[in-house]
Amino acid sequence: MNRELLAQTFVTAAKHSPLSRGRGRRTILKVLQKIHPEPLPSTFRGVPFLFHLDNTTERKALVSDSYDRVELDFLIGFLNSSPSTFIDIGANSGLYSLYLASRMPPGSRVYAVEPNPEMCRRVAANAALLREKGLAADVAIELRQLAIGAASGVAYLDLSLGLGPAFLADQKGESTLSVNVMTLIGFCRENSIGSIGAIKIDVEGYEDRVLLPFLSAAPTELLPRALIFETVHRNHWERDAVAACLEAGYAITRKTRSSILMALKS
C-alpha cells in the first residue's frame, strides 16, 4: 500500500470513530504527519480538497466531516433556494467558499476574499479540483487576493502565529507581508454586487473594522440575509460588532464556541 493510500485509509477510519475529535484527532494527525507530510487529497462532506497539515482549518476538516457543521448548515439555509451571492472574508484555503459553491444553485456567485498569497494558491487549487469533479459547474467562483478593512489602502499581514491565525497589523515587521485593503462597501461596488445571501467573516479580531463601516454605508437592499463572524477574538475589537449588527436589524440565531450566527429580520 503506498503512503497516500495508507494516509487516506487512516483519514477514513478517523472520520468514523472518536479519533476525529480532541486527543484522538491530535494522535491521528501526528500519525498522518509521519506517513504523508505532503498535501493529501481527500474530501470534506463529499467535496474534494487538497489538505495541508500546516493549517489548523485544513487539519480539522481533513479528519472530521462535522467540522463547522452548524455554521455551514446555517449558511446553506440562506443560499440553496435561489441564485445568490456568498462573500467569504478570510477565506483561508477555501473550505467554506468551495463547499458552499458545491451546494448553491446555478447562477450563484461566490467571492473568496483572502490576503495571503499562499492561501490564495490553495483556494485556486481546490477550486480546480471542484471543477474537475463537475461540481458547481454553473456557479461563479471569484478569488480576490486582498483584505477587507475600515479603509482602503495598504496594511501588513502578520504571519508570526501561522497561516490560519494570520492577522492584519498597522506596522511592518519581520513576519509581515504588505497586502491591499478595501472596504466591504467598496468591494461590493467594484464587483457590482446588488444583493447578498450571506457573508462569513474570519479575520482574527478585525471583524468590527470589516462590519461597522459597511453597516453604516450599505443601503438596506445590500444587507446580507445571514451573517457569521468570529467572536473569539472580540477583545481586539475597537467597537462591539454584535451590538452594531443588532442595531442594524439582525437577530442572533445561535452562538458557537468561536462564532455568532445572525439573520436579518424580515
Q: Where do the domains of the chain lie? A: 3-60, 69-264
Gap between the Cα atoms of 161 and 151, Å rounded: 24
Using CA atoms, how far residue 254 sits from 1, 78, 88, 231, in Å, is 45, 15, 19, 12
Gap between the Cα atoms of 164 and 152, Å rounded: 23
- Bridge-based pairing of strands 176-182 and 147-148 is parallel
- Bridge-based pairing of strands 85-89 and 47-51 is unpaired
Average pLDDT of the segment spanning 37-51: 95
CATH code at 69-264: 3.40.50.150
Gap between the Cα atoms of 210 and 66, Å rounded: 28
Grid cell for residue 258: 468561536
Return the percentage of the chain with pLDDT > 70, whole number. Answer: 97
Phi, psi of 195 (to 5 degrees): -155, 155
pLDDT at 1 over 80: no
H or E element, residue 59: helix 56-63
Taking only the tens place, the pLDDT of each residue in 150-206 is 999 999 888 878 777 777 877 788 888 999 999 999 999 999 999 999 999 999 899
Q: Mean pLDDT over all residues of the chain? A: 92
Whether the full predicted model's pTM is greater than 0.75, yes or no, is yes
Q: What is the pLDDT of residue 35?
A: 84
The larger pLDDT score, comparing residue 179 to residue 17, is at: 179
